[in-house]
């Protein structure tokens, strides 16, 4: 962390400041609202990498306000609702209330937004809200309960410093409760299991500094990369959040560069240290990631990036934002006298908004194994008995499209397809797989699978929306055995599983962050047995939830 501290300090001393950074939670509906407006060409909104800051969201709401004649009646109501949420970040209100000190406990703030506690002074601006929730689920004959509680706070200090803190404690119980969160887009949990009941917690924290052409962040947070509704290939919220340092540079409107370095949980025992300390010691695991995004014309965004998962020893070269990791691995290997074995990925994305009226076309390519040089006959260091061949291309891709307000206002339709070839996300060194706390950082369904997703979203009035969706998934073997043998197995190798899902979700946000949800899902599965026959199953899942806090 010493390198991270020096990075932040050096930026602070050479930069002039204008604003602050506090991230908005990924599940806030404001993301969908701004995405729809950008899809219709009303505003420019870059949501490839999320979360984004509350300040950026406020700027986009002001941009929408300046084009209010292009909004539908419902979008105008939603705009007014969101403006009250981003009161602190709106510079128009900052000027209006400058010098005034006010606070409240269980009261409405100056924007008529209810708060547990708020304080707006010359030095400190602070909002504090509770997190409370309860969900009841009926899955076939099983009844499951999920409750959670916690606290969320965020604020700003002079010198363009932003901070936030969010924690929640969860309890789930019931015969059908799933402590392992396997083959589901639900975020993975680090659980303490006690028969039919288990507990887990999640903590997020952020400290940031912002200036007019960039920002620097130290955080434990989620990061998503991609536009997909059914799961993102590169970075998703499937794995628990992880600590990282982040640098974002935006020297012009058409270019954006993001770098971060993360500290991951390997869950792989370090056998040498276990013997030395007589207790469980796990191997260190790190993740470096950077991407360059360019916008050559309005509505067209192109991104290219690279990441590396490495283990055991923190490497200075991976703390350098402008570095080519693929070639850096050779340098580190030469110094240590061993073959290069860091797990390196490449990824690309493209997005087109409103070039066809009200339509968003998008695609992502994730390359986990790309042989650019002859390595035929190389031996895996951790397993000398396995020899691998140079003809390997392990990748995944997503292609999708979304249409808004066609054939009538307030309706959005999304269709997307994702395919992940065998052995993506794996690696011959267990501590360098594309995971955090044993959960994939990419797409939740894993390798050797594909998915077709169709979704319709309709907003009845401000706060009330309905989602009707369906998915069809084909999944082959999940094993990584034979990853480096030749020939490579075909797509969907091994025993095959087929999943069909149909769902209807209703959500009503009565007031800021107070939500009611009702969901129905039909699960149909067909599992292949070793005999070649299939076992079919069907189950209805109904859930009701009420919660305050995102």
CA-nearest of 343, 225, 214 to 286 is 343
Q: Which segment of 5-19, 188-202, 403-417 scores lowest on mean pLDDT? A: 5-19
Domain boundaries, the chain: 2-548
Task: Return d(Cα 282, Cα 261) in angstroms, integer.
Answer: 19
CA-nearest of 224, 185, 228 to 399 is 228
The pLDDT value recorded for residue 13 is: 38
Helices 73-85 and 54-65 cross at an angle (nearest 10°) of 140
Average pLDDT rounded to a whole number, residues 534-538? 96
Q: 202: how many CB neighbours lie within 10 A of its CB? A: 18
The pLDDT value recorded for residue 275 is: 57
Q: What percent of the chain has pLDDT over 90?
A: 76
The pLDDT value recorded for residue 338 is: 55
The pLDDT value recorded for residue 11 is: 40
The pLDDT value recorded for residue 488 is: 84
Average pLDDT rounded to a whole number, residues 197-202? 94
Instruction: Express each pLDDT in 247-295 by its tens digit.
Output: 999 999 999 999 999 999 999 987 666 655 556 788 999 999 999 999 9
The pLDDT value recorded for residue 342 is: 86
pLDDT above 70 (res 340): no
Q: Is 64 helix (H, G, I), strand (E, B) or coil?
A: helix
Average pLDDT rounded to a whole number, residues 20-43? 95
320: Cβ contacts below 8 Å, ≥ 6 apart: none
Instruction: Express each pLDDT in 134-147 by its tens digit.
Output: 999 999 999 999 99
Average pLDDT rounded to a whole number, residues 27-51? 97
Average pLDDT rounded to a whole number, residues 376-391? 45
DSSP string, 261-328: EEEEEEEEE-HHHHHHHTS--EEEEEEEEEEEEEEEETTEEEEEEEEEEEESS--GGGG-SS--HHHH
> CA separation (Å) from 272 to 187, 276, 427?
32, 6, 21
Averaged confidence pLDDT in the chain: 89
**Residue bearing tokens 């066609």:** 406
Q: Which segment of 94-108, 199-213, 432-446 scores lowest on mean pLDDT? A: 94-108
pLDDT above 80 (res 303): yes
The pLDDT value recorded for residue 380 is: 46
pLDDT above 80 (res 167): yes
CATH of domain 2-548: 2.40.160.130
Q: 280: how many CB neighbours lie within 10 A of its CB? A: 9
Q: What percent of the chain has pLDDT over 70?
A: 87
Most confident of 112-116, 278-282, 351-355, 483-487: 351-355
Task: Return d(Cα 64, Cα 38) in angstroms, integer.
Answer: 10
The pLDDT value recorded for residue 89 is: 87
Instruction: Express each pLDDT in 234-245 by its tens digit.
Output: 999 999 999 999
CA-nearest of 257, 234, 136 to 441 is 234
471: Cβ contacts below 8 Å, ≥ 6 apart: 230, 451, 452, 453, 454, 499, 500, 501
pLDDT above 60 (res 12): no
Average pLDDT rounded to a whole number, residues 374-388? 43
Average pLDDT rounded to a whole number, residues 374-391? 44
Average pLDDT rounded to a whole number, residues 415-428? 96
Average pLDDT rounded to a whole number, residues 310-325? 93
pLDDT above 70 (res 412): yes
The pLDDT value recorded for residue 249 is: 97
What is the model's pTM? Answer: 0.90
The pLDDT value recorded for residue 273 is: 65
The pLDDT value recorded for residue 130 is: 97
Q: What are phi and psi of 432, to 5 degrees?
A: -120, 20
Task: Return d(Cα 42, Cα 66) in angstroms, integer.
Answer: 10
16 pLDDT tier (thresholds 50, 70, 90): very low
Average pLDDT rounded to a whole number, residues 216-223? 97
CA-nearest of 442, 371, 344, 357 to 404 is 357
Q: Which two tokens stand for residue 313?
A: 């020893």
> CA separation (Å) from 437 to 165, 171, 246, 441, 494?
21, 19, 21, 10, 26
Q: What is the enclosing helix (H) or strand (E) of 80?
A: helix 73-85
């Amino acid at each position: 962390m010493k390198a991270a501290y020096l990075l932040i300090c050096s930026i602070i001393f050479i930069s002039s400041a204008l604003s602050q950074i506090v991230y908005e939670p990924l599940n806030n509906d404001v993301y969908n609202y701004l995405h729809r407006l950008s899809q219709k060409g009303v505003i420019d909104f870059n949501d490839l990498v999320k979360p984004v800051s509350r300040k950026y969201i406020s700027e986009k709401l002001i941009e929408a306000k300046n084009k209010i004649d292009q909004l539908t009646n419902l979008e105008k109501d939603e705009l007014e609702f969101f403006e009250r949420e981003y009161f602190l970040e709106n510079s128009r209100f900052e000027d209006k209330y400058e010098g005034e000190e006010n606070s409240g406990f269980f009261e409405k703030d100056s924007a008529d937004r209810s708060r547990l506690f708020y304080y707006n002074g010359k030095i400190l601006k602070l909002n504090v809200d509770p997190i409370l929730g309860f969900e009841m689920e009926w899955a076939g004959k099983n009844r499951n309960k999920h409750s959670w509680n916690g606290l969320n706070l965020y604020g700003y200090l002079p010198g363009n410093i932003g901070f936030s803190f969010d924690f929640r404690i969860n309890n789930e119980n019931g015969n059908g409760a799933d402590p392992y969160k396997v083959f589901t887009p639900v975020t993975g949990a680090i659980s303490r299991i006690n028969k039919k009941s288990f507990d887990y917690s999640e903590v997020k924290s952020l400290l940031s500094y912002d200036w007019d052409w960039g920002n620097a962040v130290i955080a434990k947070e989620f990061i998503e990369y991609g536009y997909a509704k059914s799961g993102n290939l590169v970075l998703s919220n499937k794995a628990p959040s992880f600590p990282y340092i982040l640098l974002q540079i935006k020297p012009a409107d058409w270019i954006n560069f993001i770098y971060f370095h993360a500290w991951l949980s390997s869950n792989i025992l370090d056998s040498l240290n276990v013997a030395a300390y007589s207790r469980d010691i796990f191997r260190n695991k790190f993740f470096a990631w950077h991407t360059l995004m360019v916008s050559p014309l309005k509505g067209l965004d192109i991104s290219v990036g690279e990441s590396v998962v490495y283990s055991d020893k923190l490497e200075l070269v991976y703390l350098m934002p402008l570095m080519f990791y693929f070639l850096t691995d050779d340098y580190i290997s030469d110094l240590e006298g061993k073959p290069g074995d860091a797990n390196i990925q490449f990824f690309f994305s493209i997005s087109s908004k409103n070039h066809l009226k009200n339509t968003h076309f998008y695609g992502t390519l994730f390359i986990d194994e790309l042989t650019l040089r002859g390595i035929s006959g190389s031996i895996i260091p951790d397993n000398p008995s396995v020899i691998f061949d140079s003809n390997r291309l392990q990748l995944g891709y997503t292609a999708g499209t979304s249409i808004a307000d066609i054939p009538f206002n307030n309706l959005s339709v999304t269709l997307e397809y994702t395919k992940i070839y065998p052995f993506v996300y794996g690696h011959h060194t267990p501590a360098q797989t594309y995971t955090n706390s044993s959960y994939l950082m990419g797409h939740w369904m894993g390798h050797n699978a594909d998915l077709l997703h169709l979704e319709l979203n309709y907003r009845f009035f401000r706060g009330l929306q309905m989602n009707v969706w369906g998915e069809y998934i084909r999944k082959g073997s999940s094993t990584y055995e034979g990853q480096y043998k030749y020939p490579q197995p075909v797509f969907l190798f091994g025993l095959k599983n087929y999943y069909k899902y149909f769902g209807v979700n209703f959500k009503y946000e009565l007031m800021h962050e107070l939500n009611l949800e009702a969901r129905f899902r039909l699960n149909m599965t067909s599992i292949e047995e070793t005999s070649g026959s299939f076992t079919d199953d069907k189950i209805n899942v109904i859930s009701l939830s009420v919660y305050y806090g995102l």
